[in-house]
């Protein structure tokens, strides 16, 4: 019995993968500044997601956003940046998230951010969506459901985490309780403050 000949096809695939160089996203200098105080042991980072600007503005030229390598990418034409916080010894931190970028001749815009807080017992992720991303979702679901308002990110102010939890995993809460599924951030560069404190410093809730 003869085995199927797959080597030429495999060679062609490998050759194609090698030839298609990645057109990298060049982030803009303008961006959101997320800063505050946090325990020195807490690792803070952000994963920022970007889409071509024509996704939100159909008047833009989509033809400049066609890249051969995107046909083989699971993410398509969307791109991601991982940004680590700048830390200081006194506990201050700062995360700079570009609000736009350029990939070849194709302009890109920020759509959402995952802000990660990690410590020995705490692993908390805050989902932040831009105004345009939220509006696009509303428009897409307008015939199906009416979405609740999304809380602006600046209203959190402080998040309290169980760094010394008696359990294996410590929870994080905001003043109103558990964090919401998503918070809204501006489409334009904005400064936000988020302090990370121990749960013992959380003021009693008012009912």
36: left (phi over 0), alpha (psi -120 to 50) or beta: left
Write down the pTM of the prediction. 0.86
Q: What is the reported pLDDT for 20?
A: 58
Per-residue pLDDT of the chain (207 residues; tens, 9 = 90+): 444 444 444 434 444 444 557 899 999 999 999 999 999 999 999 999 999 999 999 999 999 999 999 888 888 999 999 999 999 999 999 999 999 999 999 999 999 999 999 998 999 999 999 999 999 998 888 777 777 899 999 999 999 999 988 888 899 999 889 999 999 999 999 999 999 999 999 887 765
Question: Which residue is it, tokens 């121990």?
Answer: 198
What's the confidence (pLDDT) of residue 148? 85
Kind of pairing between the strands at 106-118 and 43-52: antiparallel
Residue 206 confidence (pLDDT): 66
What are the C-alpha distances in Å from 34 to residues 113, 135, 139? 11, 23, 28
HEC-encoded secondary structure of 101-162: EEECCEEEEEEEEEEEEECCCEEEEEEEEEHHHHHHHHHHHCCCCCCCCCCEHHHCCEEEEC
pLDDT of residue 15: 40
Helix (H, G, I), strand (E, B) or coil at 11: helix
Asked if residue 169 lies in contact with residue 123, where contact means CB atoms within 8 angstroms, the answer is yes
Residue 123: what pLDDT? 94
Q: Which residues contact 203 (CB under 8 A, 6 or more apart)?
A: 175
- Token look-up 């403050």 returns 193
């Amino acid at each position: 019995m003869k085995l199927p000949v797959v080597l030429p096809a495999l060679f062609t695939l490998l050759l194609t993968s090698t030839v298609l160089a990645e057109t990298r996203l060049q982030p803009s200098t303008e961006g959101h500044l997320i800063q505050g105080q946090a325990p020195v042991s807490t690792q803070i980072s952000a994963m920022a997601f970007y889409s071509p600007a024509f996704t939100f503005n159909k008047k833009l030229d989509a033809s400049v956003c066609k890249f051969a390598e995107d046909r083989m990418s699971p993410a398509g034409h969307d791109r991601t940046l991982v940004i680590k916080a700048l830390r200081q010894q006194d506990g201050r931190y700062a995360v700079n998230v570009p609000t736009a970028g350029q990939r070849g001749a194709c302009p890109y815009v920020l759509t959402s951010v995952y802000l990660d807080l990690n410590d020995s017992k705490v692993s908390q992720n805050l989902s932040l969506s831009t105004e345009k991303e939220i509006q696009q979702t509303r428009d897409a679901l307008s015939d199906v459901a009416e979405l609740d308002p999304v809380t602006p990110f600046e209203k959190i102010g402080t998040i309290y985490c169980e760094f010394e939890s008696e359990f294996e995993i410590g929870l994080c809460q905001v003043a109103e309780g558990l964090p919401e599924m998503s918070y809204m951030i501006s489409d334009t560069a904005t400064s936000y403050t988020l302090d990370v404190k121990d749960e013992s410093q959380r003021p009693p809730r008012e009912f």
